[in-house]
Structure formats: structure tokens, C-alpha cells
Chain A
Amino acid sequence: MTAVTPDVAHADVRKSGRFLFRAAIVFLCAWVLVPIYFLLINTLSSPETVNAFPKSFIPEFDMGSLTFFANFAGMLTALKNSVIVACLTMVLSIAFGAPAGYALSRFDFRGKELFRVLILLTRAFPLPLLALPLAVLFIRTGLDDTLLGLALVHTTLAIPFAVLITFSLFSGIPIELEEAAWTLGCTRFTAFTKVVLPLIAPGIAASAIFAFVISWNEVFAAAVLTIQNRTLPAFLLQSLGTSPLHLKFAGGFILVVPALVFIFAVRKYLFAMWGIANR
């Protein structure tokens, strides 16, 4: 008889603990999902519904705002610019970041730890602080208002992540695999292409996509450094400031969705990267 009571108490504690845990999960999901859901509803609503109150929770699938954007002058050019800059950023940050990640994981050199910290520290400089000197420098070198110039800035933003992600990828591959390949007739380069590359290809793709997203979402440098060749966020920022509410919603939606999809695709590697950065 006496043995029963503590058991019941235990079960109670466990049950309420589980309830709290679930409640926290629901709350955090709602925190992220509800705004996105409202964004979706308002994007798919006619201008009248957007401004009306109370809100409906069911979208009415009015494509008016989206169609407007599709036909908006400059919109497609901006989209094209965004894609070009993001792709350039992706290629550049992997081209420079992956070798750095490989070196960090495979070679011992003096100041290696310091170098790793410095890579993270590059993110400590606020872009607004750098924007003015950069703009001056770009105008001098003729890089101002070019997609390449903007891609270079985005690359500096994306490289720390590219280095850290690839560093963790390379570190996950035992050096003995490469060494075995060397003894079986490979050069350093063929061992890399035949053994290392196939093993890390998915991770490299993920880190490339992440660089793409960083560039895609970046608006400050894009707004400061370009005038004619604006990327989508810069273009929307400029145009939407004076637009009616329903168009603001639709513009926001157009910006958010690709980023969300990309991030979702590479979520596994993001967790790995945060683990590394916090170490």
C-alpha cells in the first residue's frame, strides 16, 4: 500500500513535465509559423480583405497581388540579378571556403586556433560600418553598381560559414581513407576527387545553398552598393516603402519563401555547423 503513493507522485511529475515540454514546443512553433501563415493569407487576399478587420484564417486565393508583382517593371530584372549574385556568391564562397576548410582539418600550422576564431570574428563587424568605405573603394575600382562587386561582399559574409561547414565535413573523413588511396596509386589530387569528394558532396551542396541563402537575404549592402543593378530585396525595399499594404505583404512573401525552402533543405548541416561554432 505504501509503495503505491510515491509511484503515483512520480507519474504525476513526469506527466506535467511532459506537458510543459509539449507546450514549449507548440509555443515555439507558433512563434515562427503564425506570422508566416498570416503573411501567406494576406498575400493571397484581395486588397480589401488585407485592410479589413477581423481577419479570416482561410486564404481566399486571390492572386491579384502576386500577379501585380509578376508584371511589375524591373521586378524580373531584380529577380535575375538576385539569382546571379547568389550563384556567384555560392561559387566564390565554396571555391575559397572549401580549401580553407580542408587545410584547417588536415594540416597543422601555427596559429590554427587563432585563425579559426578570426574566421568567426569577421562576422563581428557590422556591415553598416563597412558600407561607406566599401562604397568609396568600389567606386574607385569601378566595382560599384556591378553584380560582381556585390557578390564579393556577399562572399565575405558567406565565407566564414563555408569554411566552418567544410571544416567539419573534412574532419569527419578519416585521413586514413586518403592515405589508403595514396598507397593504392592516387596522387593527393586524385585521392581527393575519388575518395573525399564523393563522401562530402552532399555537405558541399548544402553549404553552397547556405551561401546562396545568405546572399539572397542580404539587403543592406545590396541597397548601398547598387543603384541600377538592384537585387530583389534591395529593389523591393526601395519600391515597397511607398506601396499599399497588400503589396508589402506579397513582396515579403516572395522574399521569405525561397529562403525558407533552402534552409529547410540544409537544416541537418546547419545544426552541425552551430555545434562547431560553439565549440
Chain B
Amino acid sequence: MAQIRIKNVAKRFGAYQALHSINLDVADQEFMVLLGASGCGKTTLLRIIAGLETPSEGEVWIGDRRVDHLAPRDRGIAMVFQNYAVFPHLTVFENIAFGLRMAKMDNALVTKRVERTAELMHIEQLLKRYSGELSGGQRQRVAVARALAMEPDVILMDEPLSNLDALLRLEMRAELKGVLAESKTTAIYVTHDQVEAMSLADRISVMHQGRIVQAASPIEVYRNPAARFVASFIGNPPMNFLPATSHGNGQWSVAGQTFNGPATQKPLEFAIRPEDLSPADQGLKATARVVEPLGAHLLVTCDVEGASFRAVLDSDLTVRPGDILTLAPQPDRIRWFDPETTQAVA
């Protein structure tokens, strides 16, 4: 059993606060993805769990042990580093075998384990090479294989596929998910690629400026963003926002149109995903600015009362810049945010 529990963890680097009171529970065998923009503290959090960084405050639990005071080697973890950290003086084989040899594993077993993991990562033909003779993507796969070979309770991966080409990344992604599900490993996986996050995660934790803004299943994060940041970060393109004013009784006026919304008097923000808009007789008046045909869809960037607004429309439609569209939002997909607290309002 290797659930991970992070309680009120904060991290300060001098005057700079990289992490603010993080609380996170990762269930046994869960695949948790940490998603966030560059510099939001993903690596720092991972390093705290691994024991490479000491938290300024808070507790870290793995299984039913508190591990803050334990050395990395005593935590039952393996880690894939953002910059690979493949040992340059060892061959690929010895790199993958390093942890097994430290654990004094039997030689025949080591060979078997290394070969199997190498095969999984498609690097079996590179086993005799040194890291100086590998490409970035190959080095990255060695780093992943080295961690996988340990068969740890918990595996921590810091953007392990960032350097692979699109096709290989797709393949490795599926491979990793399969292997980790089979080996019953608890995984924390850092990425800033939201497609990767969506496809791999049991749950996604969206991080922003050293805080976890939302931790939920991928579809929940996508459909019901808990905060404005999540809505503006997830989705390609992300959600549209428009200011809304209350008429009372849950009636809201948005760009001259009336919508049903929460029963509050405070000014709110109206939000809708670009793909939840369709042309209709009744709806938001939008002036098309840029039209981008994407094959399956038509991405139209428009102007609604001076605010930029995107719609993903059927590619059969003909839209020219300057056209005035009437776009109807799908009513059950409309979300509301409080501009003061930036939190979602139901």
C-alpha cells in the first residue's frame, strides 16, 4: 500500500515562496498528474516528495509512514528527472541496472529485468552505448527505464516524455499507462501538456503559482473548472469569458442577452467553451476577426462587445472576417465565476 498524503506543505526559497500550503492525497495505485504552467512549483513539489528538498512546513506521508525526515533511498520511490540525469560514465545497461545493483539483486535477475524494461522503452538496441552517444529522446527513455526497473511503490516522473517526437510520445504514453497499471504502482506525473494529462490521469491536480487549484478527474477538470485559472488554462482554445450583470432572480445579462444563472447579486463572469457554441437565430452577436480552418473544425476568433471570443464551429460553415455571427451557448455548459475570488459559482 503506497498512498501519498501531503499535509500543509509549504516551501520557501529565501524570500520567495514556491509552494503555499499544499494539501494532496494520492490513493494507492492512482495515476496523479500535476499540471501547470512553467514555474508554478511542480518540480519543487515532486522533489519534496522524493526527499531531495526539505519542506519549510508541513508533512509528507507515504504508505503509513511519515517520511519528511527520511533519506530518498528509504522512501520506496523512484524518480525520473526533468533533465534525465543519466550517468555519463555508465552504459545504458548499467544505468538501468544501477538501482538493482545497489539493492544487491542477483546478476541473472538484473539482466532479465534490464532487458525487459529496455524493450518496453524501445531502447534494447542501445544497451551498450554511453549517454554521450544518445539523443535527448533516447536519454529520456533511459531515465524512465531506470526508474521503472526499480519496480518501486511510488514513481515520480518529471516531464518524462517532453523530448520525444509526437508519434513516439503517443506510443510511450500508452505503454507507460499500461505498465504502471499492471505493476500497481502509485504514480505522480508532472507535465504541462494538457492532452498528456487528460489521457494519462486518474486525477489531475492543476497547479498555479505554488497552489493546487483543483484536484479532480480529467473530465471534471475540463467540464467544471473550480477556478477561473483552470478554465483559462485547460482546453485548446480555453474557455471564453464575458462580464455579466444581475437582473435579480437568477437572471443575468451578458452582451445584451439574458441567461439563467446563480441567484446572487454580485457581478459575475460568464464562461463558455468555444466548442459549446453553435450558430442560431438567438444568441450572442459576434463579429468574426480571424478564421482558421483546422480540418475537422473551424476556429473563429471574434469580437463580442470589445472582448475577444473564440468559437469552434463546424467546418462546413463559410465564415469570412467581418461577418456578424449569432452564437448560442449550450445552456447546460455555461459556467459562472466570481471575478473577486476567481472561484466558480454554482
Contact = CB atoms under 8 A, between A and B. Distances in A.
Interface of A: 174, 176-177, 179-187, 190, 194-195, 198-199
Interface residues of B, number: 21
A184 B77 contact: no
Interface in B24-63: 50-52
B73 A174 contact: no
Contacts of B73: 182-187
Contacts of B103: 185
B102 A177 contact: no
A112 to B, nearest CB: 14
Given A176-B83, A182-B72, A183-B51, 19 more contacts: A174-B83, A176-B81, A176-B85, A177-B85, A177-B87, A179-B52, A179-B81, A180-B79, A181-B87, A182-B51, A183-B50, A184-B73, A184-B102, A186-B73, A186-B102, A187-B73, A190-B102, A195-B87, A195-B89
Interface in B4-19: none
Contacts of A195: 87, 89
A182 B83 contact: no
Contacts of A177: 85, 87-88
Nearest to A198: B89
B252 interface: no
Contacts, number: 54
Interface of B: 50-52, 71-73, 77-79, 81, 83, 85, 87-89, 98-99, 102-103, 146, 150
Contacts of A184: 73, 78, 98-99, 102, 146, 150
Contacts of B81: 176, 179-180
Contact of A183 (B77, B83, B87, B89): B77
A179 B72 contact: yes
Nearest to B14: A108
A181 B89 contact: no
B149 to A, nearest CB: 9
Contacts of B89: 195, 198-199
Given A186-B102, A190-B102, A180 B71 contact: no
Nearest to A178: B85
Contacts of B102: 184-186, 190
A181 B143 CA distance: 12
